[in-house]
Amino acid sequence: MVKASDLLSLVADNMIYVEDKMRSGISEKHKDLQSVVDYLVGAGGKRLRPALTMMAASFYPVDKDKLYCLAGAVELLHTATLVHDDLIDNSLFRRGMPTLNVSWSPAATILTGDFLFARSAQLAAQTDSVRIVNIFSETLMTIVGGELNQLFNDGHKRVPSIEEYHQRIYAKTASLFAAGTEMGGILSQAPEDQIGALRDFGYYLGMAFQVVDDILDFKGDEDHIGKPVANDLRQGIATLPVMLFNEDHPNHPTILKAVGKEYVSDEEILDVVNKIRASGYVEATMEEAVRFARQAQAALEKLPNTPYRQAMHGLADYTITRDI
C-alpha cells in the first residue's frame, strides 16, 4: 500500500524548519507557555497541510524562510482549532497523547488556543504578502463559521442536504487544504492560472480526505482510530453514508433520534450501522471520495510535470486508499 511518508519524503527534510517556526516567537519570560507549545508541536500529526503548502510552492523559486513561516502558520492554525475543539468536545486524547484540556483549566486552554491563532497570523504576515494574510484570515473565518453553523443548525434536528454536507466538510477540512496550496502558489509567484489549479487541487483533495474520514468512522474499531464506530452519528452528525441511506430509507427512527440529539442506545446505533454497511452505502460514499480525488488529480495537469506534481498525484491516490 502507498505510504504517506514516501509521498511526503520530498518535503520531509524541511519539516524540521517548519516545526522550528511553530515553536518560535515566544518571549523568554513565558517559559510555561513555551513548554505547552513544545508539547503541542511535539505531539505531531501527519503534517499533511504544511507538506501540501510546501509542495505547492515547489514549482517556482521561493524564499525558503518565508515558506517555512507560511507552512508553520498553516499547521499552527490547524493546531489552534484542534485545541479549542478538544475543549469544546471534552476530548481526552489527540494523536495518542492527552489533550491540553485534560490536564489544564478551560481558561488556560482557551488562552493557549488564542495565542496560537495570534502566532499563526503573525507567521503568515512574515511572508510580507497582504494577499496571503487575507486568504489566511478568511480561512479561519470559514473554519470557525462552519463550526458555529453546525452548532446553530443542531436546533433544526434534521438530516442535512448533500449541499450542506459539502459546505460543512469544506469549512472543516478542504478550506485549509485549499488555502495552503493556493498560498504556496502565491508565495512562489506561480502564474495565476496555476495558482487557481493549486487551489483546486487542495480543495478537491481536502474534500476527498474528509469524505474518507467520514467513511473511516463507519469502518473503524476502537483499536484502529481510537474512537467507537459511528462516533459522528452518536453525536448527532449525519455524514454522507447516513445521508445516502436516509435518501432511500427516510425517517429511520434511530437516525431521527440521533440528529434530534435524543438518547440513542449502543444497540440502535450498531443496528443502523450494520444496515448502512450491508446495503452498499459505504461503497457509494467511497465513489464520491474517488470522484473528488480524480478532480484533484485533473487540476494538477495545469502544472509543470515535476517529481512534486507526481507526489501530489500520489497523495490523492493515498487519500482514497489509506487505512481502508
**Size of interface with its own copies, in residues (CB under 8 A):** 46
Beta bridge partners of 97: 94
What track of x and - describes contact with its own copies for positions 58 through 87 (by CB under 8 A)?
-----------------------x--x--x
Torsion of CA 303, 307, 308, 312, to 10 degrees: 90
Spatial separation of the C-alpha atoms in residues 134 and 44, rounded to whole Å: 27
Q: Does 12 bind its own copies (CB under 8 A)?
A: no
User: Quick one: three-class SS letters along 7-65?
Assistant: HHHHHHHHHHHHHHHHHCCCCCCCHHHHHHHHHHHHCCCCCHHHHHHHHHCCCCCCCHH
Of 70 and 289, nearer to its own copies (C-beta) is 70
Please identify, using beta-carbon distances, which residue of 133 and 186 lies nearer to its own copies. Answer: 133
- 50, 113, 180, 206: residue in contact with its own copies (rule CB under 8 A): 113
Residue list 156-185, contact with its own copies (CB under 8 A):
167
SS3 at position 98: strand
C-alpha cell at 302: 495545469
CB of 12 to its own copies, least distance (A): 29
Strand partners, 93: 98
Q: Is 88 one of the binding residues for its own copies (CB under 8 A)?
A: yes
Is residue 107 involved in binding its own copies (CB under 8 A)?
yes
4 touches its own copies (CB under 8 A): no
Q: How far is CA 154 from CA 10, 83, 137, 164, 268, in A?
A: 42, 22, 26, 13, 21
Stretch of 110-118, 198-206, 220-228, 302-310 contacting its own copies, by CB under 8 A: 110-118
Nine-digit cell at 99? 489533550
Rg of the chain over all Cα atoms, to the nearest angstrom:
20
CA dihedral 161, 179, 286, 154 (to 10 degrees): -30
Whether residue 3 contacts residue 315, with contact meaning beta carbons closer than 8 Å, is answered with no
Determine the longest span between alpha carbons in the chain, in angstroms. Answer: 60
Based on CB atoms, which residue is closest to its own copies, 87 or 320? 87
Nearer to its own copies, 7 or 77 (CB): 77
Least spacing, CB of residue 309 vs its own copies, in Å = 30
Task: List the interface residues with its own copies, window 23-42 (CB under 8 A).
Answer: 25-27, 29-30, 32-33
- Distance of closest approach, residue 29 Cβ to its own copies, in angstroms: 7
Rounded to a whole number of angstroms, the minimum distance from the CB of residue 107 to its own copies is: 4
In the complex, the smallest distance separating the C-beta of residue 161 from its own copies, rounded to whole angstroms, is 13
Binding mask 115-154 for its own copies (x = CB under 8 A): x-xxx-xx--xx-xxx--xx-xxx-xx--xx-xxx-xx--
In order of 94, 222, 277, the CA distances from 226 in angstroms are 9, 5, 20
Interacting residue ranges for its own copies, rule: CB under 8 A: 25-27, 29-30, 32-33, 81, 84, 87-88, 105-108, 110-115, 117-119, 121-122, 125-126, 128-130, 133-134, 136-138, 140-141, 144-145, 147-149, 151-152, 167
